[in-house]
Structure 1
């Protein structure tokens, strides 16, 4: 393939028509800028749950076992804290808050309840309204209130709202929870995850303002508050991270470019890459999620590298000729190929995330890959064209030039430091590679202990905002976030032996005579994670509804007894008649929570222990589901989140394998086409394998789990890290044609290593600022990405020279002669002299 003809065609237009190219790219930027207005946001955990079987089952459960044609009910929690929330003043604070909430229009309130209402009704059973309950508490003495508290202690509607430190004798507790019930649009809670928007958000924000003006320490909590923090944390994180990233990047770019016009040009090109990528996001209708916060730093990482390499190589060639066009032709003739290889391998690394079953990770991979292609076009064509256009006019502009010297030139301190890998390769290349192999194997084995996690808290701000962030001025100062601290408080103060439930969604013919018996038997001898009594799981199902109705309704009890052949209270014939009776009685709504109206599916819930591990709960629930006759699937929020956690781990391994295999195949092919030396593709990947092992080992060392963000890190290490080794290998091949082995290596690490070092520092600090994000998982992603870039740089400079020395020897090349002197040419002929 005569690829050189295409490169010459591009070179010619960059040098001879730079103005047209610049105008064309600016016009595209304007079009992409229009797309920025169409960018929507998506946040929370719900986006990760879509398409997962257990989540689909949970959605079906919520849709099938809710009253038809009726709105959903939402709730708001009023968390009251104090020395004694059961004292008369504190009870009145809660009741006055409830009163104001009920009186305020637009809050969709259907009812309110609290420990205060129970105490008031214990004193006066006729106090059915909030006003009457306030009058009752105001007229009661403290002694009478304490007596009412002790009387109500065994009432679940009372004791269940009090903190664990409730003392019956002293009639005291430090916290209680009141509940406001709302009527909200249907479909509010159809899945396990929490989305980034909720109709309860404005309602609960208004209730919070009411609580603040009532008096007493009352915190408002609910899905609307959680959704609001899911959404606002994205904006706050970007406001903090973006300026910090820009600051670090500018500082390092000032050193890398040391020229005002080059700095402005490189920075503008970076801005263009971001505008193009997010303009595409808006035009394509892909929502901006928490994961997308990582895209701009990644684009900056590759863009910075391309920009520094382009300017640095141009400066090297400019030292050999006064012609702007000739210098740029030489630079782009080599760099366009290197940039294409880097783009190809990086895109493969990002697109490897398409193997994931999680939608947000797929979207992230697509957007990042498209962004890298845009970056290649901007820095491979636009920046060189703009540089040619500027340099042909800059002498007439009153702009100071600080330095046009390339980085890492011979005799500089940086150039000497970069030679360490070359020194090692001269003396003990094989021994050093064996050491690296042992290190990589050890790090990889150690990394097998990395955990996997997926929790709602991953997508929320921390319980306490760091002091250095709270000191930031507006508009950078983050909002006051409370969800995680409230969740921690609830877990600490209201912990019980029961920690939620799991759901079994059963699809079968519910009129089968044995179906109810099988449902009941499934709860016998339950697993350790289930709450049990007398060796039977604590469950809720149509069986419990039948037994409860039979205790209250003599006629129904006789119906059940006539159809219960073994006398255990569970009917085993004429089940349709039993169900019909229930659905025609006052138990209809409760029955429809556990059986579908067409009698073809059922819902069974099991209480699980609060201290049980999520993975153990899921495994036990799936085991119980297998005991059912019919098509049964375990679901519920705990099961769905554990399934997502498993998919995250699978995504990490699949994307790593695909990225590694795809990269190797791509490099083998591209080096065979370009150089006739496909084995260079293998040499190219050796330092990246070392970097991947080091990153994986570091994850376990730092206690970082695979989560929604870090699941992509190993594939990204390949995609970003290959950048460094590609530049060195491609430069080495060019130098090796003209120089002996070690002279070629020396020129390579001095010429390319300087640009790589500057790019590495800029990228490491530019991405590392993600640690300032309010999302801890995003901070972890930033740290790991920065480390992956640093590891890739070090491995390329230290390991790759030894790999190339051994590769050169295995190819049978003479180390004392250049490839041209040995008659080793390109597959399409001898290297050509590039002229202006």
Structure 2
């Protein structure tokens, strides 16, 4: 490894301009790749479609999941003939749009009763509506609200949905509405489109805020070196490289992946600080060339070990069952690696090109006047004093903080798990507000589908079972408001009774419009029962799905027929169980990977000591989440693995310095005190700047990101506590144990 770092130092010393030019070319390619990054929302970001459950959800959405766009029309009197004329006009224009399969409004209901004409008075229109209640006339007798439903082709891409939405909005804008009438576009397609736009805006805002906070942090905390804002520029390079890799590799930007950028900025700034601090220190001792060589060959390997441990924490995220979490882990690994490489190469190169000169020391600036130690020097001494006291008496601090961590074991199951997508997005997002209003009007904007498969789903006994189970489930579950299937459609087409013979079934089937038939029937071997539900949260929905599954086991389908619940509700309720299992699995894997890594690198059992404070940190995280009433979601479930990755850097660096002091002949207490005093300030500055980077997440309008930002800020704070308070105690115990056995061994082996 040293030969690689030595060769890099030689190249930078001999060809700094060529290195800078190469870096500039790479940045250009990265910028081009960044322009190819695409947004991702929807099912494929939540569930792996290669699994049986995921493939069923994906197949259902592609076969039956025609995304419906709802238009909420509000006004003082929607039964006014002028309003129905307006609805008829935009209905005709909507119908001409590509990928639109159907358009239905109250105007169509009225025309269906009058032979295609609109009555001349509001009273006549209201009389027709009162005689034929319809979902489209949701305003009741007042006539103040109605709906228009626009059906899209199944399985159209998000780009197509977005294009259709923009065209519909354009038609609404250019078609004059009657006075007092407003039209609001809603539905899942509109929600996904607006969320995608919000994600693009939010990502830029988060990166900008994180960098701004970095500038503030550097201004206050890094004033002892020249070019104090250089680490911010290095991190910008790392972010650009990360975006470039995303674009070239086709990795999409999802709601969770947005959080990766403040994470990489927070961690990347730490690497830049470490390299610039070491470079500044070495320049004070000798030439710039020697500083380049020492910085790269000494700090390079040390920081790459910390980088490896951090990346292994993120590797654990790749095992998550959620694609967006997998992408988050991958981008975090790529991001922190790009930041490390940028800092390793660009800081020495920059120092060489500008002929770096360190700032004058405080003593020189005071022109020989006697002055006391500065703030950071006093902080160093305070850390050393505290570390010395802990090293001399380590047990109390281990017991106290260890007991707090143990509390996290029983409290973990008490932390609420949330998978409701509405809780993850900005609460004031117009599409979410309109979706909520739509849910109040129609009861719910989603349904629970049951896929039924058989050699012949149109067989009389299969149809009889579908109709019977739909009625039974509706009667037994208050949250189910109705069940619609090919059986209920055939019943309606056959005058209110379900056809009994195959001939009668085919005759009734021929009466159904093709679009309607295809929404509930896929050939002759598959059909779907759509259970409409009241507007309930995911916790309640989980209970409904469980109850319906029990009902299905009790009222089994005929022989040779299978029935499985699927759809978004099942996907999100299953995620609640998956999150519990995933966070435990990711934590365990993170521990195993980093422990094995440390033993492999240091080749001694004592190398696992940095993991002991990390175990406590995970326990503290659970306690604080319970105390401040935070919830586990698809992103905060990664907190344990992230804590392992982030905290390991600080504890490893302290162990490295402790080992260095021991090699110089220092005793346990002295080595611990010196290690903490020498690098405690650097770790504190790194930790605080990392906090500044993660703080940007707290300002996000997405609750899933702001909550994650809060817990990661607390995690970094706990990591500092673990490194500065717990690590000295752990090193003291292990060092005393090693010294005790080192004394006994000669006595045992002697004559």
TM-score class, shorter: 0.7 to 0.9
Q: CA deviation at 1:214?
A: 4.1
Counterpart Cα distance in 2 of 1:323 and 1:371: 32
Query: C-alpha separation between the residues in 1 aligned to 2:487 and 2:108?
Result: 32
CA gap of 1:85–1:348, structure 2 versus 1, over 3 A, is farther
Instruction: State the alpha-carbon separation in 2 of the partners of residues 213 and 550 from structure 1.
Output: 40
3-state secondary structure, aligned to 1:221: strand
- 5+ long unaligned stretches in structure 1: 67-71, 138-143, 464-480, 558-568, 817-836
1:638 to 557, 565, 569: 569
Which of 271, 280, 288 aligns to 2:253? It is: 288
Q: Which residue of 2 aligns with 1:548?
A: 492
Q: Write the distance in 2 (CA, Å) between the matches of 1:128 and 1:805.
A: 89
Residue aligning to 1:668: 599
Deviation per residue, 1:379-432 (Å, 9 max, x gap): 234323433443xx246xxx9868799xx9898232134336414423420222
Q: Secondary structure at the match of 1:288?
A: coil
CA contact 2:309–2:648 (8 Å) conserved in 1: yes
CA distance in 1, matches of 2:20, 2:269: 19
Q: CA deviation at 1:730?
A: 1.0
Within a 5 Å distance, the mapping from 1:12-91 to structure 2 comes to: 12-13=10-11, 18-44=16-42, 46-51=44-49, 53-61=52-60, 64=63, 74-80=68-74, 84-85=76-77, 91=80
Query: Residues 268 and 581 of structure 1: is their aligned pair in 2 closer, same or farther, counting only changes over 3 Å?
Result: same
- Structure 2 contact 384–674 (Cα < 8 Å) conserved: no
1:625-653 deviations in Å (ceiling 9; x for gaps): 44334332111331122234433443322
Does residue 74 of structure 2 align to residue 128 of structure 1?
no
CA distance in 2, matches of 1:21, 1:251: 30
Alpha-carbon offset, residue 273 of structure 1 = 0.8
Whether the aligned pair in 1 keeps the contact of 2:317 and 2:326 (CA below 8 Å) is yes
Q: Is the partner of 2:397 in helix, strand or coil?
A: helix
Q: Following superposition of structure 1 onto structure 2, how do residues 668-687 of structure 1 map, counting pairs within 5 Å?
A: 668-672=599-603, 677-680=604-607, 682-687=608-613
Equivalent residues of 1:696, 1:714 under 8 A apart: no
Tell me if the contact between 1:704 and 1:780 (Cα under 8 Å) persists in the aligned partners. Answer: yes
Do 2:473 and 2:548's aligned partners in 1 also have CA atoms closer than 8 Å?
no
Deviation larger for 359-368 or 200-209: 200-209
Contact 1:526 1:532 in 2 (8 A): no
1:228 — aligned with what?
A: 193
The within-5 A match list for 1:235-254 is: 235-254=200-219
1:699-749, Cα deviation, whole Å (9 max, x unpaired): 333333222322322211111121111111111111221133233222222
Preserved contact between residue 461 and residue 774 of structure 1 (Cα < 8 Å):
yes
Structure 2 vs 1, CA of residues 65 and 790 (structure 1 numbering), >3 Å: closer, same or farther?
closer
Alignment match of 2:418 (pick from 439, 448, 453): 453
Evaluate the alpha carbon distance shift between residue 266 and residue 461 of structure 1 in structure 2; reply closer, same or farther with a 3 A threshold.
same
Using the alignment, how far apart are the partners of 2:159 and 2:585 within structure 1? 27
Whether 1:706 aligns to 2:632 is yes
Shift of 1:161: 3.1
CA contact (8 A) 2:72 2:148 kept: yes
**1:647-662 to 2 correspondences below 5 Å:** 647-662=578-593
State yes or no: 1:803 paired with 2:730.
yes
Deviations 1:432-487 (A, max 9, x none): 21222211110232122222222332453322xxxxxxxxxxxxxxxxx4112222
Shift of 1:792: 0.6
SS of equivalent residue, structure 1 residue 266: helix
1:166-191: per-residue Cα shift (whole Å, max 9, x none)? 5xxxx436x41221536x455339xx
Mapped pair 1:436 → 2:401: yes
The yes-or-no answer on 1:791 pairing with 2:738 is no
8 Å Cα contact 2:63/2:154 also seen in 1: no
What pairs up with 1:448-597 in 2 under 5 angstroms? 448-458=413-423, 460-463=425-428, 481-492=429-440, 494=441, 496=443, 500-510=446-456, 514-520=461-467, 522-523=469-470, 526=473, 530-531=477-478, 538-551=482-495, 571=500, 576-586=502-512, 592-597=518-523
Q: Which runs of 5+ in 2 are unaligned?
A: 365-372, 744-751
Which has the higher mean CA deviation after the structures are superposed, 214-223 or 291-300?
Answer: 214-223
In proportion to residue count, which structure has more helix? 2
Alpha carbons of 1:54 and 1:503: their partners in 2 closer, same or farther (altered >3 Å)?
farther
714-723 or 99-108: bigger deviation: 99-108
Q: Does structure 2 conserve the Cα–Cα contact (< 8 Å) formed by 1:281 and 1:287?
A: yes
Name which of 359, 368, 379 aligns with 2:343: 379
Give 1:339 deviation, angstroms: 0.9
- 1:111 to partner: Cα distance: 7.2
**Alpha-carbon deviation of 1:544?**
2.9
Q: 1:791, CA displacement in angstroms?
A: 1.2
CA drift of 1:280 comes to 1.0
Q: 1:254 to 1:609 in 2, by over 3 A?
A: closer
Counterpart pick for 1:722 among 648, 656, 660: 648
Question: Equivalents in 2 of 1:65, 1:292: separation in Å?
Answer: 29
Partner of 1:560: none
CA distance in structure 2 between the partners assigned to 1:650 and 1:386 by the alignment: 47
Residues 334/445 of structure 1: CA separation in 2 closer, same or farther (3 Å cut): farther
Structure-1 separation of matches of 2:259 and 2:361: 34
Deviation per CA, 1:552-576: give whole Å up to 9, x if none: 6xxxx8xxxxxxxxxxx674xxx65
Tell me how far apart the structure 2 counterparts of residues 6 and 588 of structure 1 sit (CA, whole Å): 68
SS of 1:263's partner is coil
More moved, 786-795 vs 690-699: 690-699
Any conservation in 2 of the 1:348–1:662 contact (CA below 8 Å)? yes
SS of residue paired to 2:74: strand
Query: Once the 2 structures are TM-superposed, how far is the Cα of residue 250 of structure 1 from its aligned partner?
Result: 0.8
- Helix, strand or coil for the counterpart of 2:23? helix
In the TM superposition, what is the alpha-carbon distance from 1:805 to its structure 2 partner?
Answer: 0.6
| Secondary structure of 1:418's aligned partner | helix
Partner residue of 1:187 out of 141, 149, 155: 155
Aligned length: 723
Q: What's the CA shift for 1:46? A: 4.8
**Structure 2 counterpart SS, 1:460:** coil
**2:688 aligned with 1:761, yes or no?**
yes
Partners of 1:777 and 1:529 in 2: how far apart?
A: 35
Change beyond 3 A, Cα 1:206–1:589 = closer
C-alpha distance in structure 1 between counterparts of 2:679 and 2:222, whole Å: 15
Distance 1:313 1:236, change over 3 A: same
Q: What is the Cα deviation at residue 136 of structure 1?
A: 2.7
1-side partners of 2:391 and 2:190: how far apart?
63
CA distance change for structure 1 residues 808 and 721 in 2, over 3 Å: closer, same or farther?
same
Contact 1:115–1:176, Cα closer than 8 Å, also in 2: no
Query: In the aligned structure 1, how far is the partner of 2:345 from the partner of 2:32?
Result: 23
Q: TM-score, normalised by structure 1?
A: 0.77
| Structure 1 pair 20–152 and aligned structure 2 pair: CA distance change class (3 A) | closer
Query: Cα RMSD between the aligned structures?
Result: 3.7
Q: Following the alignment from structure 1 to structure 2, what is the Cα–Cα distance between the partners of residues 202 and 781? A: 33
Structure-2 change in CA distance of 1:286 and 1:763 (3 Å): same
* Contact kept in structure 2, 1:229 and 1:461, CA below 8 Å: no
Aligned counterpart in structure 2 of residue 101 of structure 1, from 90, 113, 118:
90
